A and B are shown apart, each in its own frame.
Chain A
């Protein structure tokens, strides 16, 4: 992946926030944070959730495993999963 991409947890979080800012049609009443629940707070439907993951994959040059979808609930969960995959794909497990 390009060296200029910030692959830290904060960098990933920032990218997720950026994606949500650009793509959420209805802004949630509470500000988006790491603790935001994907369904309860952000009201992402399945298509949007997958599109977001796809966008993150493209940006960070990774492939998220299918198991991801069974365990994430919040923005933080997604960010941590992405960080783990980045580390694994770089061989740093």
Chain B
């Protein structure tokens, strides 16, 4: 294992295997399609050869919009075989979203400077005149016909993949804001993969079987289930389309049972969905006793959600110790901390007020408390510290920014020296997330960066603000979007506060804002607060203050006197933006004050 230092070498190591490989469940009522590792390697090499034939050279960026998971796997390895840098892009995934999709995709391809884009025949027509808006893109190819340009056994020539080569770029789902391309080398990825699968992680044996419905254009699905299993030469993985999971969550549990799967990962909301939306008759014969790892990451973990899942599925053989809460981020390849393999689900019951002031204090019995789920320890050879606003390490029990250093940390953001410098200092990656240590284990409890995370996906407030600004009647540029954690729904509430010209503007304008953001970003805004001009807090130089807005909203002071029914309604909820005190000491993070 220690000789395999690149992802291409990982695949080469299993390229002779015809009995093990990846299976893809494409239609619910049909069996999954099996593709042996030998076949994946052959197809990947062919794709790499096709890229070379199309003039793609080492270091060139290749965009991949491939909804079919099997084509995606072939193509991402194939790009690496050709020494190119893959840029996976989310395909259109929602009903009626296509008009906005093109804009989002264009921004990513432009930032990456892609010279080629490979997609499938269904997505191709939607991309329209993309080439004219992204000058670097020489052509848009359809995978099936593209690979036919070279022989079935073709392989790239003269490419010697090195660990320090960039393997791929992971882009945030940016639309109007400049999307950030996390740049990861083979060395980064191998280091993280070996942390995930090694002795301090999942201890992945060759008999392991994994099941995943995670999108493959996102780190947890891609690194966790495309690269890691091949590196560990596992028996196999079944990929379920994320859309199929959302439509029919029982497919996930049924596959786990049928395959006697050992490992799966999903964001918190998915466990909630599986608890509430699956009907008893769909669980006939389901046996989850082989599941050793039910990983949970990509968004804040709610203790109650996981507890409810464990209770519902205990009769089906699910063991609560299977839960593996984790913390990670794309800028750190994937995984940062893992809970111990056989540790039980654990949460710290702390006083909310003290936590907001920066201290993790046990809550008194019967008092108001917050359950912070334990996310475990960082990996050998990887450093983690909790730092205050001056970058000084804080002791256990004190809340600060999580900072990371080590072999999994990204090279930077592609072609963005300014934002790279803001994130990386002396090799320490500032995560923008808040947490504390207790007993050497990490408890993630908030975030100072202006990011909204819903269903495991990241959304940038600037993107919501820009979209809302385009709506007739909204005072352009005078919009603030933010998320506030709501324990009642177990996720963040997405709130948009917009100044409007006309005091009569009401529900119709709110609906337009919600519809516009839903269409452009596939994100549902929970609440729109309309305000008279001048309501949003600004700095002395006239810049809008996102954190202050959230705090005003929480205390009910936002737009006082404007008579907003929505505001009063929301005050009944236990929505809190607890970090404004801490945020103030860190100053404004992220792009809010640009």
Query: A-side interface residues toward B, CB under 8 Å?
Result: 28-29, 37-41, 43-47, 49-51, 53-54, 57, 63-67, 69-70, 72-74
Question: Is B94 a contact of A46 with CB atoms below 8 Å?
Answer: yes
- Against A, the Cβ 8 Å flags (1 = close, 0 = not) of B510-529 are 01001100110011100000
The residue in chain A whose Cβ has the minimal distance to the Cβ of B277 is A51
Question: Is B93 a contact of A40 with CB atoms below 8 Å?
Answer: no
Cβ < 8 Å to A, chain B residues 564-590: none
The CA-CA distance from A66 to B95 in the complex, in Å, is 11
**Chain B's nearest CB lies how many Å from the CB of A48?**
8
Question: Is B508 a contact of A29 with CB atoms below 8 Å?
Answer: yes
| Known contacts A45-B523, A47-B455, A54-B248; A38/B96 CB under 8 A | yes
Question: Is A39 a contact of B95 with CB atoms below 8 Å?
Answer: yes
The residue in chain A whose Cβ has the minimal distance to the Cβ of B506 is A29
* Chain B residues with CB below 8 A from A51, complex form: 277
| Known contacts A29-B508, A69-B94; A64/B247 CB under 8 A | yes
Interface of B: prevailing SS: loop
Pick out which of these stretches binds chain A: B25-33, B159-167, B287-295.
B25-33
| Known contacts A45-B522, A66-B244, A73-B95; A39/B515 CB under 8 A | yes
Residue B241 lies at the interface, judged by CB distance under 8 Å to chain A: yes
* Chain A residues with CB below 8 A from B97, complex form: 39
Question: Is A73 a contact of B96 with CB atoms below 8 Å?
Answer: yes
The CA-CA distance from A73 to B92 in the complex, in Å, is 13
Per a CB cutoff under 8 Å, which of B94, B96, B507 touches A29?
B507
Question: Is A72 a contact of B95 with CB atoms below 8 Å?
Answer: yes
The CA-CA distance from A43 to B515 in the complex, in Å, is 6
The CA-CA distance from A49 to B277 in the complex, in Å, is 14
Per a CB cutoff under 8 Å, which of A39, A46, A66 touches B27?
A66
**Chain B's nearest CB lies how many Å from the CB of A5?**
17
Question: Is B524 a contact of A40 with CB atoms below 8 Å?
Answer: no
* Chain A residues with CB below 8 A from B244, complex form: 66
| Known contacts A29-B508, A43-B518, A64-B247; A49/B94 CB under 8 A | yes
Question: Is B524 a contact of A43 with CB atoms below 8 Å?
Answer: yes
Residue B142 lies at the interface, judged by CB distance under 8 Å to chain A: no
The CA-CA distance from A54 to B273 in the complex, in Å, is 13
Question: Is A45 a contact of B518 with CB atoms below 8 Å?
Answer: yes
Question: Is B95 a contact of A69 with CB atoms below 8 Å?
Answer: yes
Residue B557 lies at the interface, judged by CB distance under 8 Å to chain A: no
Residue B329 lies at the interface, judged by CB distance under 8 Å to chain A: no
Residue B283 lies at the interface, judged by CB distance under 8 Å to chain A: no
Residue B243 lies at the interface, judged by CB distance under 8 Å to chain A: yes
Question: Is A47 a contact of B246 with CB atoms below 8 Å?
Answer: yes
Residue B129 lies at the interface, judged by CB distance under 8 Å to chain A: no
Question: Is A40 a contact of B515 with CB atoms below 8 Å?
Answer: yes
Question: Is A72 a contact of B455 with CB atoms below 8 Å?
Answer: no
Residue B122 lies at the interface, judged by CB distance under 8 Å to chain A: yes
- Against A, the Cβ 8 Å flags (1 = close, 0 = not) of B243-274 are 11011100000000000000000000000010
The residue in chain B whose Cβ has the minimal distance to the Cβ of A46 is B94
**Chain A's nearest CB lies how many Å from the CB of B104?**
15
Question: Is A40 a contact of B29 with CB atoms below 8 Å?
Answer: no
Cβ < 8 Å to A, chain B residues 482-503: none
Query: B-side interface residues toward A, CB under 8 Å?
Result: 26-29, 92-97, 122, 241, 243-244, 246-248, 273, 277, 455, 507-508, 511, 514-515, 518-519, 522-524
The residue in chain B whose Cβ has the minimal distance to the Cβ of A64 is B247
Question: Is B522 a contact of A46 with CB atoms below 8 Å?
Answer: yes
Question: Is A39 a contact of B247 with CB atoms below 8 Å?
Answer: no
Q: Give 19 CB contacts A-B under 8 Å.
A: A29-B507, A29-B508, A29-B511, A37-B96, A39-B94, A39-B518, A40-B515, A40-B519, A41-B515, A43-B511, A43-B518, A46-B94, A53-B247, A63-B27, A65-B27, A66-B243, A69-B95, A69-B243, A72-B95
**Chain A's nearest CB lies how many Å from the CB of B504?**
15
* Chain A residues with CB below 8 A from B243, complex form: 50, 66, 69
**Chain B's nearest CB lies how many Å from the CB of A91?**
15
* Chain B residues with CB below 8 A from A65, complex form: 27
| Known contacts A29-B508, A63-B28, A66-B244; A44/B515 CB under 8 A | no
A-B pairs with the 3 shortest C-beta distances?
Answer: A45-B524, A50-B246, A73-B96
* Chain B residues with CB below 8 A from A37, complex form: 96
* Chain B residues with CB below 8 A from A72, complex form: 95-96
The CA-CA distance from A54 to B246 in the complex, in Å, is 9
**Chain B's nearest CB lies how many Å from the CB of A64?**
7
Question: Is B518 a contact of A70 with CB atoms below 8 Å?
Answer: no
Question: Is B247 a contact of A54 with CB atoms below 8 Å?
Answer: yes
The CA-CA distance from A74 to B96 in the complex, in Å, is 8
The CA-CA distance from A63 to B28 in the complex, in Å, is 8
**Chain A's nearest CB lies how many Å from the CB of B76?**
21
* Chain A residues with CB below 8 A from B247, complex form: 50, 53-54, 57, 64
* Chain B residues with CB below 8 A from A29, complex form: 507-508, 511
* Chain B residues with CB below 8 A from A49, complex form: 94-95
| Known contacts A39-B519, A40-B515; A67/B122 CB under 8 A | yes
The CA-CA distance from A40 to B98 in the complex, in Å, is 12
**Chain B's nearest CB lies how many Å from the CB of A79?**
13
**Chain B's nearest CB lies how many Å from the CB of A71?**
9
Question: Is B246 a contact of A46 with CB atoms below 8 Å?
Answer: yes
Question: Is B246 a contact of A43 with CB atoms below 8 Å?
Answer: no
The CA-CA distance from A38 to B514 in the complex, in Å, is 13
Question: Is A44 a contact of B26 with CB atoms below 8 Å?
Answer: no
* Chain A residues with CB below 8 A from B508, complex form: 29
The CA-CA distance from A57 to B511 in the complex, in Å, is 29
* Chain A residues with CB below 8 A from B95, complex form: 38-39, 44, 46, 49, 69, 72-73
The CA-CA distance from A40 to B95 in the complex, in Å, is 11
- Having A39-B95, A57-B247, one finds 7 other A-B pairs with CB under 8 Å, namely A39-B97, A39-B519, A43-B514, A45-B523, A63-B29, A72-B95, A72-B96
